[in-house]
Chain A
Amino acid sequence: MNLLVLLKMVPDIVEELEVAPDGKSLDTSFLRTIINERDDHALEQALLLKERHGGTVTVLALDAPDIDDTLFAALAKGADRAVKITDAPEGMTTQTAARLCSQVIAGLPPADLILTGVQALDDLDGLSAAVIAQQLGFPYIGVVTAVTVNGSTATVLKEFAGGVRGEFAVTLPAVLGVQAAEKPPRYVPVAKVRAAMKSSKIETVPAPAEVAAAQIEVRQLAKPVVSSHAEMLEGSPEEIADKLVQLLAQRGLL
């Protein structure tokens, strides 16, 4: 089966995020980006399916800083083909970018299953997988945590609240928004990524000339204005531990 996985770079939120002087966008001057965690799970799920059923995994991404590293890492993990969309306008909304990706996908060999993260940290306008499904006329389901394929049907698990999951039968080809793969994303040693850089190539496809207009405007981006903040316990680890033990004793929690 042919599997297609969309990958996206997002800011690493372990780092401090700064707002640009325009007050509406992220300051990218010192921004460290990483693969969107849910996309990493989508890739893992695709690799698991390939191991079970055979076939190929193609990874597709919009050009972005450090995207080559991410694509080579995907090849090192077992993807067969990496495609990068170049010359797309910057600052596209999620829906605009997804529409653009759909046009590119339509020009690639047909996929039985398209997987991507159910959402990305920087999504403000919709969910990519839903838009791609709509554009291609494929069925869609999101918040997926397991996929089994049997002929032309995929059985997927979708997470609800309270630990309850729902089982759905989905007719292929389909688009899935992945919450988590069945296993944690595999680790790939740097040496293998370097080997992939030598042995394989990233293909490039130019972005379609026509791009849909954004339908949202960001009026302001800012750190949350908080109505409350934790009372901070400070000092050496010793002092902090003393304060905390005292607090728990006062509250009758010991």
Chain B
Amino acid sequence: MTSPLWILAETWRGQITETTLELLALGREVADQLRVPLEAVLFADKSLATSLGVADHVLCAAGVEPTPEAVAAALAQLVKERQPQAVLVPWTNLSMDAGALAAAKLNAPFVNGSKDLKADAGRLVAQCLVYGGKLEAAVAATVTPVLFGVLPGTRSADAGRSEKTPAITEVAVAVPETKVKFQRFLEPETGDVDITQQDVLVAVGRGIQQQDNLELAEGLAKLLGGAVCGSRPVIDQGWLPLSRQVGKSGMSVKPKLYLMLGVSGAPEHIEGMKNAQLIVAINTDAAAPIFNVAHYGINADLFEVVPVLTEKLQAAKGG
């Protein structure tokens, strides 16, 4: 099959996202394996297409509203017209619902959470994270076209940059009047600690069990000169403000120390902290995915370790 491989380029506030560049790098590899052209679809001003030089060709349409409805309608129309064999879509809050909706419109499969993709006897097989990253599934589609939701971080964004200028074709899309209208952005609350600026972060997850136990983390953070942050379940419970969330929907952080208390390491969380310089995880579940990411692991009950650790840190700091 010589039909092209596509990526959906994502823009955020007028810029091509890092994830788009990562997808370009992955897409280039896969397109070369399949010996087909790599094409990027860009719903933005064509001036942005110049940063997509890793692709052979950019299909560009301006004037598509940044809503899942409009992007999905435009993407589905182009897929129908031009018949790519597959479309790689960023598995991000920004693009996942547009990708899934486009697949639904096309009656096409949408493979979620792909962390890698390769050609196997001419067919694409995705390696997908399921069950919060506890298992991986090798998934292939039985029909074409197929859309793959590709996780951030599959390749380095640098591998998706090129000096080359791709061929650019402006295409027309007819997006019907949609019933979802963008109104405005709400910025994160300020005034709280900026966790992206901390050298030390103590991260709490579901394993902290209740709000009162956050004191343990606060104590450690104070001793280490840092701040407390959390994974999704802790934020959802209202135990920490949104400004302290690390991960896909929250902040991306790169502290010198990321000390994790009872965080299992769902892919959404790992996305936001994998670049920390030193990652230490305490978790009672020996099979927790976080132990595949952390530099040091402690398979123990945090409620037994943290009080002793706090005492010893106090002693070490005082001595």
Contacts and interface: CB of A to CB of B under 8 A. Distances in A.
A78 interface: no
Interface in A221-254: 221-226, 228-234, 237-238, 240-242, 244-245, 247-249, 251, 253-254
A220 B141 contact: no
Interface stretch (A54-62, A104-112, A130-138): A130-138
A209 interface: no
B135 A19 contact: yes
Contacts of B135: 17, 19, 26, 221-224
B97 A215 contact: no
A119 interface: yes
A221 B136 CA distance: 6
Interface in A148-189: 155, 157-171, 174, 177, 179-180, 183-184
B67 A215 contact: no
B63 interface: no
A139 B138 contact: no
A217 B139 contact: yes
Given A13-B264, A221-B135, A164 B185 contact: yes
Given A166-B185, A179-B249, A237-B305, A160 B93 contact: yes
B101 A161 contact: no
Interface stretch (B54-62, B105-113, B167-175): B105-113
Given A130-B97, A219-B140, A253-B278, A165 B186 contact: yes
Interface string A173-212: 0100101100110000000000000000000000000000
Contacts of B313: 245, 248, 254
Contact residues on B (Cβ < 8 Å of other chain), bracket: 35 or more
A169 B142 CA distance: 37
- Looking at A19, A138, A158, A234, the one whose CB has the most chain B CB atoms below 10 A away is A158
Given A17-B131, A160-B249, A229-B292, A139 B180 contact: yes
B130 A141 contact: no
Nearest to A123: B112
Contact of B297 (A170, A223, A230): A230
Contacts of A168: 67, 180-183
Interface residues of A, number: 89
Contacts of A84: none
Contacts of A217: 139-142
Nearest to B102: A130
The dominant DSSP class at the A interface is mixed
B222 interface: no
- Looking at B69, B179, B245, B295, the one whose CB has the most chain A CB atoms below 10 A away is B179
Given A124-B111, A143-B93, A217-B142, A237 B69 contact: no
Contacts of A155: 183
A251 B278 contact: yes
Contacts of B72: 130
B1 interface: no
Interface of A: 10-11, 13-14, 16-17, 19, 26, 37, 41, 93-95, 118-119, 121-127, 129-131, 133-135, 138-143, 155, 157-171, 174, 177, 179-180, 183-184, 214-226, 228-234, 237-238, 240-242, 244-245, 247-249, 251, 253-254
10 contacts: A131-B104, A160-B185, A164-B186, A166-B185, A169-B181, A180-B236, A215-B108, A219-B138, A219-B140, A241-B311
Interface of B: 12, 67-69, 72, 92-94, 96-97, 100-101, 103-105, 108-113, 125, 128-143, 146, 178-189, 200, 224, 232-233, 235-238, 242-243, 245, 248-252, 256-257, 264, 278-281, 285, 287, 289-300, 304-305, 308-309, 311-313, 316-317
Closest 9 CB pairs of A and B: A163-B188, A230-B297, A142-B97, A139-B179, A134-B104, A215-B109, A171-B179, A127-B100, A126-B110
Given A224-B292, A254-B317, 11 more contacts: A159-B93, A160-B185, A161-B92, A165-B185, A167-B184, A169-B180, A215-B142, A218-B139, A230-B291, A230-B293, A232-B297
